[in-house]
Amino acid sequence: MGIVDFLRVMPKAELHVHIEGTLEPEMIMSKAEENGVKIPYRSVGGIRNAYRFNDLQSFLNIYYSGMSVLVDRDDFRDLALAYFKRAHQDGVRRAEVFFDPQAHLRRGVNLSDVILGLHDAAAWAMENLRMSIDYIMCLLRDLPEDDGISVLQEALKYRGGVGDGWIIGICLDSKEYGNPPSKFRNAYRIAVDNGLIPVAHAGEEAPAEYVWEAINVLNARRIDHGYHAFEDESLIKLIAEKGIPVNMCPLTTLRIKYFNSILDVPVKRALDAGIAVTINSDDPAYFGGYILDNYIAVYEGQGLRLIDMVKLAENSIRASFLKDSDKDRLLRELVNLTSINSLDSLMG
């Protein structure tokens, strides 16, 4: 077994992927034609050529434009099914998937169509691909908190238990800078009181203070991105000591130009600091890489050892919200894989 094959078959969890960010240009074109939605592109190639981003906002502009082709329950089922099939090929056994209900509601899409379509896909993948899947609803942080609370209260009827393919958590995403976590303290209180698990994008484009707020104000169980946290040594020490996982998306950081080189993405630094860092794909249709591509990029670009890659997969399983018994099962599979395929022999 070669190194890439080994990285592919390692059982892993994907903990940071936006389902709308898996909308490939081919599906944008087909859904636009199917649903009679006008888009500013004439071809798949034209869409791909537009994927040149200078910052987060330039990406978000195209991201929201692309999702305009999603209008009914079948569209959301098709979107999620395509992602689950691809993720399964990359060894993803557990997926905790973000979605943006506000972005669809303000286009006139019914919330029930969004969530039921996503659940249809999860139910199929859980039965046919033996994946474990749940959803985390995101609040658009550049909108008022009251708007988020309104959508949250409507979405609560779709919450479920871990492994049921419904909503289990709450998150913040979209334009971070100028929209600190503390803006959403009331929404998070309502969510947690109703059994949702709190996580948050923090420290992606905004300073370390946003990560402090996500932890201290929102009680976030995981931090997504968290790159600016590494500017504050006391914060890094806290994250390590508390065992707060940090979900990184390496290829995203390069396409949005947070970092100029894969060497600058603080994956190895996080590992060395004892942080439960994980590798994820974020918006793979836009950033040129699904989860395996991100694993390969980190392995090749940061000079990591295969044992480090196994640790990243282990981190993803432990950082998931699976029941302990399900985590143990996946961890045993990972141990068995590494014992059967000697890491020294893979290194050649």
The bridge status of strand 223-225 relative to strand 167-173 is unpaired
Q: Supply the pLDDT for residue 306.
A: 93
Low-confidence ranges of the chain (pLDDT < 50): none
pLDDT at residue 165, as a whole number: 97
Assign 3-class secondary structure to the chain.
CCHHHHHHHCCEEECCEEHHHHCCHHHHHHHHHHHCCCCCCCCHHHHHHCCCCCCHHHHHHHHHHHHHHCCCHHHHHHHHHHHHHHHHHCCEEEEEEEECHHHHHCCCCCHHHHHHHHHHHHHHHHHHCCCEEEEEEEEECCCCHHHHHHHHHHHHHHECCCCCCCEEEEEEECCCCCCCHHHHHHHHHHHHHCCCEECEEECCCCCHHHHHHHHHCCCCCCEEECHHHHHCHHHHHHHHHHCCCEEECHHHHHHCCCCCCHHHCCHHHHHHCCCCEEECCECHHHHCCCHHHHHHHHHHHHCCCHHHHHHHHHHHHHHCCCCHHHHHHHHHHHHHHHHHCCHHHHHC
Domains of the chain: 3-342 (3.20.20.140)
* Residues contacting 288, CB < 8 A, separation 6+: 51, 251, 255
Structure confidence by residue, pLDDT tens digits, 28-74: 999 999 999 988 888 898 888 878 777 777 777 788 888 999 999 99
Per the annotation, the verdict on 314 as an active-site residue is: no
How far from each other are the two terminal CA atoms of the chain, in whole angstroms? 11
Q: pLDDT tens across 293-306, in order?
A: 999 999 999 999 99
Catalytic residue (one of 14, 24, 176, 204):
204
